[in-house]
A and B are shown apart, each in its own frame.
Chain A
Amino acid sequence: GQQVMQIPQYQHVQEGEDFTTYCNSSTTLSNIQWYKQRPGGHPVFLIQLVKSGEVKKQKRLTFQFGEAKKNSSLHITATQTTDVGTYFCGQEVTGANSKLTFGKGITLSVRP
């Protein structure tokens, strides 16, 4: 079956540091979606990437879709304590009935 790789599972940074995480797939994707889940909360949609090489920004967050549409990255500039949470990527394989396969996520903690 489809493999969604998000490593590492945990990352700890000092407030103000930059942070980058990656999401890799074993298959070509039709689109990729990123979600954030705060402790005790529910996943909240952040962004969707569709085109090869696409880059989208949301304030301090930058999302990129790989040229081969098999991987994606999330970069946070100057992390803040409000960035704490688990970031999931959801992958949709072409022709897969809109079903998203999620990785285990990366849990980010930020030291003030």
Chain B
Amino acid sequence: NAGVMQNPRHLVRRRGQEARLRCSPMKGHSHVYWYRQLPEEGLKFMVYLQKENIIDESGMPKERFSAEFPKEGPSILRIQQVVRGDSAAYFCASSPQVSEPQHFGDGTRLSIL
């Protein structure tokens, strides 16, 4: 039973480009969460999705960031017109039900040149 799969593991973009981060939840999990982590910082909640619906996006910046979890395929975190401050590790987690423990992927390390 594969865990949460995130790709790519490392992503390098130049300022102004778009970054697309993908997350396939564990089998049977319909709840997906995205977090951002800066070095020596905690996990900052960004968005919570449940198949095709955004449940809570209170942690998402108002501009340039969007997330989706389509009926078929992985969840996507999209960052448009990236800036240096977007450099961070982005973790995806999934859970089978509300309030159950979350299983994390290996993360995508995003670097902006």
- In the complex, A26→B93 CA distance in Å? 25
Tell me which of B11-19, B40-48, B77-85 binds A. B40-48
Tell yes or no: B111 within 8 A of A by CB: no
Selected contact of A42 from candidates B42, B56, B107, CB within 8 Å: B107
**Can you give 21 A-B contacts (C-beta < 8 A)?**
A6-B42, A30-B99, A33-B102, A42-B104, A42-B106, A42-B107, A43-B43, A43-B91, A48-B101, A88-B42, A97-B98, A98-B48, A99-B33, A99-B56, A100-B33, A100-B102, A102-B35, A102-B43, A102-B45, A103-B42, A104-B42
Nearest 10 A-B pairs (CB), nearest first? A104-B42, A98-B98, A102-B43, A45-B101, A42-B104, A43-B104, A102-B42, A97-B56, A98-B99, A42-B106
- In the complex, A15→B77 CA distance in Å? 41
Smallest beta-carbon distance B37→chain A, Å: 9
Chain B: interface size category: 20 to 34
Selected contact of B103 from candidates A6, A30, A45, A104, CB within 8 Å: A45
Which chain B residue has the least Cβ–Cβ distance from A104?
Answer: B42
**Which residues of B9-34 have CB atoms within 8 Å of chain A's CB atoms?**
31, 33
